[in-house]
Amino acid sequence: MPLLTTKIPRRPLLRLLSTASGGTTAIESRDQKLNRIADDLLALTKAEREDYSTLFRHKLGLTQWVLAFGLNAAYATGPASEEKKEEKTAFDIKLEKFEAAAKIKVIKEVRAFTDLGLKEAKELVEKTPVVIKKGVLKEEAERIVAKLKEIGAAAILE
C-alpha cells in the first residue's frame, strides 16, 4: 500500500542567505503570519479543532485517502454526517434483586436456562446483583427477563 507523502519545496540555504534586506522582511512577515495562525489554532476548542481538521482535509482533497485507508469516516464526510451505530445483538442478563418469598422459584428458573446444578444456581442467586447469563440473543434474553419478572425478580439486559 503506497504511503501518502507530500513534497515540500525547500529553498536552498545560499539563496536565503544571499537575499537582500527586502527578502528578510518577507520572511519575517511570513513567520509572523504562521505564528498568528498557530496561536489562532491553539485557541480553538476541541470541537472547533475537529471541525477545522475535517475542513482542512477536505480542502486538501484528502477525503478519498481517508476512506481508502480505513480511517474514521467522520473525517471524510464532515461534522454534519451521522455516524451509523451498530445495534447490539448479544446481551448479558443481570439479576438485580428478588423477593424473599420467590427465592426458590428464581433458583429453579436460573437452573432452567443456565444448566447449573441446584447448589451452583443457589450460590449464584444469593450473590445478587450478578450476571446470570452472558451473550444471549435479544429475543431469548427478553423472554428470560420477562419470566424472571413474572416470578418476582428484577432483571435487566446489559
- What pLDDT, in 10s, does the model give residues 20-70? 445 555 667 888 888 888 888 888 888 888 888 888 888 887 766 555 555
The amino acid occupying position 116 is L
Task: Please state the φ and ψ torsions of residue 16, each to the nearest 5 degrees.
Answer: -65, -40
Q: Any residues with CB less than 8 A from the CB of 138 and at least 6 apart, and which?
A: 88, 89, 91, 157
Question: How far, in Å, CA of 11 to CA of 128, rounded?
Answer: 72
For residue 85, give every residue at least 6 positions away whose Cβ sits within 8 Å of its Cβ, in sequence order, or none.
none
Domains, the chain: 21-77 (no CATH), 90-157 (3.30.1390.10)
The CA distance from 108 to 38, in Å, is: 67
Residue with grid cell 443481570, as numbered in its chain: 94
Q: What is the pLDDT of residue 10?
A: 52
Place of cell 472547533: 48
Condensed to tens digits (0 to 9), the pLDDT of residues 110-152 reads 888 888 888 988 888 888 888 888 888 888 888 988 998 898 8
